[in-house]
Amino acid sequence: MYYLASMKIGILLLLCIFFAACSSHRAIVENRPYTVLNKGIAGNNTNDLMKRVSADVLNEQPDLVILLVGANDMINSHKFVSYQQFDNNYRALIKSIKDKGIALVLMSPLPVDSGYLFQRHERALFQQDPNSKLDSVTTIVKNIAAEQHLGFIDLNRIFKDRGEPGRGAHSLIVNAANMGKEDGVHPTKEGYQFMTTVIYNYLKKHRLLRKKHKLICFGDSITYGAFMDGAGTTTGDTYPALLKKRLNGK
């Protein structure tokens, strides 16, 4: 009897040690710092992302990729692609990332100020209104996300619901009144802060942060952080920089 009792006590002690070790390991994993990489390049469309997805995403072995692309495909007259080509490219990008077991959150491109845009791009080259094209791309991205059960943040709709883009000083999109630039495409510092809050809240709500500690923000000039301090990095006022600070409680 004494022997059996000793065995039971020994087993209980081992189980306690095992579960304590597991809990400790889990706490260490869940509390380790988040790594966020800014893999945005100004002027990129889906063709460009296809060329660099291996080097900039797959080789980095992230846990989660936040993908934002489509504006240049639709509103940059030097980078136009058809809706079908966009769909094909987008699906190929997703497949290459998913095949490596990497989680994905897709985001739709922001609405733009067509008046400013036509100061840089010839109006005659557009068979449709720029925002109509962006609406179509948003639908494509939304449908792919639903079809493949991927995360989706409709930045296009979220910014429109706030009345963007506007021409006033308080607009979240760069304009003459707030930054002295007739841009109409890229977020202001406040716009990036707003974006970051939307993204962070989405990741938290959908429980995408618990075990995903290495994130890559992959995209074009909006990910890059045009006009911002720290453009192309995770310092300053880019959304990857602000997200990194938010994730790490800074």
**pLDDT tens-digit series, residues 6-58:** 555 555 554 444 444 444 334 334 567 999 999 999 999 999 999 999 999 99
- Per-residue confidence band for 250, with pLDDT thresholds at 50, 70 and 90: confident
Residues 182 and 129 in one domain: yes
Residues 25 and 127 in one domain: no
Question: Could you list the residue range(s) of the whole structural domain that residue 17 is in?
Answer: 1-31
The alpha-carbon radius of gyration of the chain (Å, integer) is 22
Residues 37 and 26 in one domain: no
Residues 148 and 165 in one domain: yes
What confidence tens digit (pLDDT) does each residue in 67-106 have? 999 999 999 999 999 999 999 999 999 999 999 999 999 9
Provide CB contacts within 8 A for 55, sequence distance 6+: none
37: enclosing H helix or E strand: strand 35-40
Residues 55 and 96 in one domain: yes
Spatial strand order in the sheet of 214-219: 35-40, 214-219, 64-68, 103-107, 151-153
The pLDDT value recorded for residue 36 is 99
Residue of higher predicted confidence among 2 and 214: 214
Judge if the upstream peptide bond of residue 109 is cis by omega within 30 degrees of 0.
no
Give how many domains the chain has, as a whole number: 2
- Contact assessment for residue 90 and residue 144, using Cβ atoms and an 8 Å cutoff: yes
The pLDDT value recorded for residue 12 is 52
Residues 198 and 211 in one domain: yes
Residues 131 and 170 in one domain: yes
- Contact assessment for residue 136 and residue 90, using Cβ atoms and an 8 Å cutoff: no
CATH number at residue 218: 3.40.50.1110
* Structure token pair of residue 192: 């990036």
What confidence tens digit (pLDDT) does each residue in 187-238 have? 999 999 999 999 999 999 999 998 889 999 999 999 999 999 999 999 999 9
SS3 99: coil
SS3 130: helix
The pLDDT value recorded for residue 24 is 36
Residues 42 and 22 in one domain: no
CB atoms inside a 10 Å sphere around CB 210: 11
Residues 50 and 122 in one domain: yes
Separation of CA 222 from chain center: 10
Residues 13 and 97 in one domain: no
Q: Residue 91, CB half-sphere, CA atoms under 13 Å: how many?
A: 12
The pLDDT value recorded for residue 117 is 98
Residues 229 and 159 in one domain: yes
Residues 117 and 215 in one domain: yes
